[in-house]
Structure 1
Amino acid sequence: MTANAPTRNPYLEEPPTEFDPVEELDADAAREQARQLREAIRHHDHRYYVENDPVIGDRTYDALFSRLQDLEDNFDLDREGSPTQRVGGEPLDELASVEHVAPMQSIDQGGEVQDVREFDDRVARGLADPGFDPDDRTYFCEPKFDGLSVEVVYEDGVYQRAATRGDGEVGEDVTENVRTIPSVPERLRGEYPDFLAVRGEVYIPTEAFQAYNRERIERGDDPFANPRNAAAGTLRQLDPSVTAERPLSVFFFGVLDSSVDFPTNSEVYERLPEWGLRTTELAEAVDSIEDAIGYRDRLLERRDDLPFEIDGVVFKLNDRDACDALGSTARAPRWAFAYKFPARTEQTTLRDVVVQVGRTGRLTPVALMDPVEVGGVTVSRASLHNPAEIERLGVAIGDEVRVQRAGDVIPEVAAVVESNSEGTVDFPETCPVCDSPVERDGPLAFCTGGLACPAQLERAIVHYASRDGLDIEGLGEERVQQLLDAGLVEELADLYELGQLDLTSLEGWGMQSVANLQDELEASREPPLDDFLAALNVPSVGDATATALAREFGTFEAVMGADREGLQAVEDVGPKVAEEIRDFFESERNCEAIERLLEHVDPQAYEVEGSDELDGLTFVFTGTLEGYTRSEAQELVEAHGGSATSSVSGNTDYLVVGDDPGQRKREDAEENDVEVVDEDEFASVLEERGIEN
């Protein structure tokens, strides 16, 4: 790193939340830390508000934000352009921008009871100056919904438009999407005001969220991290019909502007339902801040039983004239405060288990849970790995479980903390996708449907057409899914029966793209045997093993008919791999799919091209070579009659070592007395046998 290179920002990924006391910093260190925090907070704002994909938990974000405020306060730093002076993120480019009728501000917040009492003290001091009696202050309490804030405008009782909060001044126009939400009336009821702009929170109920995530997992999509992300992603759909299919709901909780006055915030809650606007029954007026704290504690106890996610409560001064007198800072009203709940850290409730079918047919149980913060990241699903792990844990729906990050990457259920039901999760005996029998292999479970299983078919087609398969351009994941959704492809062979009219009827397919795909498919009808074997995605058969099988047996029919002993005679094929290959070709449904495919595809018999100067020699390559890629070196060896394998054994003659070689292969070479050569020595071996390098 050069002397002028910027330091890595520690607050972008897995940020620390323990800071040195502000008093121990000098001015330069404070300015640099504030710069990094502003950069990080803008990054996390974008991930949260724009991409709907946060990478840190709320409490971690709050700690970063609070630290920035402390630095700005204690060192009198310039706040212009700081995240502490504005709200949220920028509107999305894909949606039109809308200016709000009144600012949609954020709310100051804290997670400690002392924060709440300090807020109450500030309110009391602020009310004394404009002539209000501080002793008469009362509060209105409401849940802090974990959804997406929207402004909804009515004129003469008719729904006009809706917008997201955006940056607080300008939001995204989501009028047509919000119109699809059943709890948003097209017309107001009763004696409504001539003009009304209300603030609401769009959310997805917990049960509906879990059901929706189950559907996403079963079709191979990534689930949403939490209901808030699901609501935000749904509301920002460009196609309102997609929004209409998803279970959005809304609570209204504030008036931004109106042609009528509301003396108190509690009256807002009384009047809105009269006009058909939904409010929560959990809101409550209280006489003091201590009563408000008691309200919060009672709601915290009910949190897990509520049908929607809340992450705290909001206290508002009830008298709206007093609210106007207190006014606002640049980013938040002085008359409101959010008392945040503690994050659900590592312990949560298991709500459902869905079984995911992988490309190889392996069935993986996935736990769907109430969102929980694990290692600074909010997660709502975790792996249960396999049926044996379910039995070991003794886990069942409704249990309180502890979640941890496996290898700091994949969340997993680590233990049952409190059992709330009898028995364990019933693992299916048939594939949840194709209904084929499920077979157990030790602790694992597999669908026997093979190429005939739709869950495996999508991935099988993508692999078949990939560079690791037959390299058929124009058949990426999106287009394969399009073909499956349209019912045009139900097995691999159907690719070769696609007609021009079939394809041009699909969105995004023009005559040229159809012609290109048909040319690619035509060119793949006579593939090399090793490419065809790799394209079928036989378990444990990658490029090297496919080539070894092709060289050993010569024809596809011979590979299909090879017994376990014959397969084990092939380099790099041990007993387990041989059994997997036999199981694949002995599957009745796989055989049916392959038989249909062979009506269109004729894999060519394998012929060793080139000379035999290296006949009888086996090479293994490790590390990075300068003269060619590892695959090019392997092809060179094979073109001259030698073998190139991926692992060192007693049959290996040379281990060719490049830069950054694998230690395991060097140890295996020493153990098996295999000669180790560098790239120059490898070139000498070739030269000695008359091979020009």
Structure 2
Amino acid sequence: MTEDAPADNPYVREPDTEFAPTGKLSAEDAREQAEQLREAIRYHDYRYYVENDPVISDRAYDELFERLEELEGAFDLDTEGSPTARVGGEPMDELESVDLVVPLLSIDSSGEADDVRAFDDRVRRELDDGAAVDYVCEPKFDGLSIEIVYVEGRYERAATRGDGETGDDVTENVRTIASVPQRLRGDPPGVLVVRGEIHMSLSGFQAHNRERVEQGKEPFANPRNAAAGSLRQLDPSVTAERPLDCFFYDVLWVEEEPAPVDEIGPEDADAEEAASVGGLALDGLDTHWDEHRQLPEWGLQVNDRHELVEGVDHAIAFRNDLQADRDDLDYEIDGTVLKVNDREQCRQLGTTSRHYRWAYAYKFPARTEETRIADIVVQVGRTGRLTPVALLDPVDVGGVTVSRASLHNQSEIAELGVDVGDIVTVQRAGDVIPYVAEVVEDNSEGHFELPDECPVCGSDVEADGPLRFCTGGLSCPAQLKRSVEHYAGDSGLDIEGLGEEAADQLVEAGLIEDSIADLYEIDAEELADLEGWGEKSAEKLREEIEGSKSPSLGSFLSALGIPEVGPTMAADLAAAFGSVDALLDADEEEIREVEGFGPTVAGHVAEFFANERNRRVIERLREAGVEPEPPESTTAGDELDGLTFVFTGALSVTRDEAQSLVEAHGANATSSVSSNTDYLVAGDDPGRTKREDAETEEVPIVDEGEFEELLADHDIEYPPE
């Protein structure tokens, strides 16, 4: 046992996890045991994250942690500062913005050694002595920079880097990360502000993505996206379930006496100097290397792949060695950061408006790997587009185990000459998206050909240049989930509560089996029985679906998902033909007469409405009560010219009627809130996302009564007759 282990604590080494029932403990015994468990768990966190030398098994640790949770719950013990705070607190309405203690700038970068030498030349020239400069070399983590504040050794606040001066308050989310201690070790100062990098280990990322795929969710593209999405959750309990980690690497600020968080930081006169070195020079911490040695003493995890070197040649050699070892690391890095070691020299070098002039990132090139194509499968998307996907013998690319890669289209397949059994190079576009770059060993004859029939529904496949499309239309099962999502989305009928996850769930549960027309036959009781649903949410979705039965003709046409026809072209079609029946009877020549419709798009439209399956779906929608409203032939006036409205929730009229009214008087009506929105009109049970977006963009939110008054001020009658 090391000297810094808690004395006389039975849960430090070889702990006995056969605990007595809580009902047999007195309140005093429970408090004493809880304190011993908290002390031991903090010690085990230190040994695991900082020393990388745990003294108990993961299973024993979990049993200690579960016992502490049990005691705190059974005896209503105060959990402030307890390791159990990591399980997550109450959901938040939004992430607040906070001012950072010290401005956090970015680091200039390049993948060329000549640029790194030019950086070193400038540093030595500006220091005016020409001597070799000592650099601290660190991995450049592919994560999120974070500022964390401790007061009297207690965790107080965490904020993202944001714009460098203001970031998101993610205190409760970061609290859930086990490698971020709730209390510091040793003798920390009254105030300590440190900088670190939140990331997701590669092993944790792969395990979490497997879980997502098993649950029918879209996997994260890379560990950085996974970490960013996890850190910005409004529900900390969701963050607590994600395998996040943190490395610390900078001391930003120290004060000997404790102070409230909002009073911590440099005075205005010191702010520029503090920014120039990432914090002021501190007693005993005159170099960046001093920081690396001190941080673990406070219990803060420091990455072990860092080194103090003399001169740029050694820094470049460090980077090359790190690149060679990159595949063996359990975290994603994309280069090496060089920092001038001496903080007084950093102060002399200062900053630009965006970058530290004493730090530079020497980046790695994009990864390429070779593997065998085990099979090629064809996916069918919402529009019927066939996308070939190569199934690979698993290969590590960019720190991620890749087992599939895009082949894009038939022309690219032919150009590559790729087929099953070939050995290929797999590369990550932007170091993120895997694709087949070239064939390095041809083990097949010819190349893969996309099928002539849809692999899902058996309909004919038609070519459109290099692309191939299933002609099965809306009833093709493979297109069903994405068709439902599109029909209900911003480009369709804007049915709130029916996004990607809900669409997948409804199809998988069999509530939607044939086409989007099944939406209007969903039973609220059956919906309420699904996981994550209840009577209120199910009824609200049913009301949203019912409220979509009188859409504008343009919205309806856009919702159908006609290839290459988005909201604008759908509105043009609606204005030109005026009804669904007219489009069902139109031929390609008539459609080509609409301005902007060339032969390709006109052909898609004509084929779509000639398709018997599509016609049956449209017939079913109309039988369910969906009656698209024809566009207004003329505008009523321009009283609302220049204004943009967004509607959410249930109004006394349909949402389409409200949109048509404002559009008839010169306004724009859009489906999503942006900085260009003038008013969000909120009816009963408004959508949470639109309200949050309106608050973020500082868009006025008005209820239906206020909307009516606004229109009355412009002599517009509401509700419309």
Q: Please give the TM-score of this superposition, normalised by the length of structure 1.
A: 0.48
Rg larger for: 1
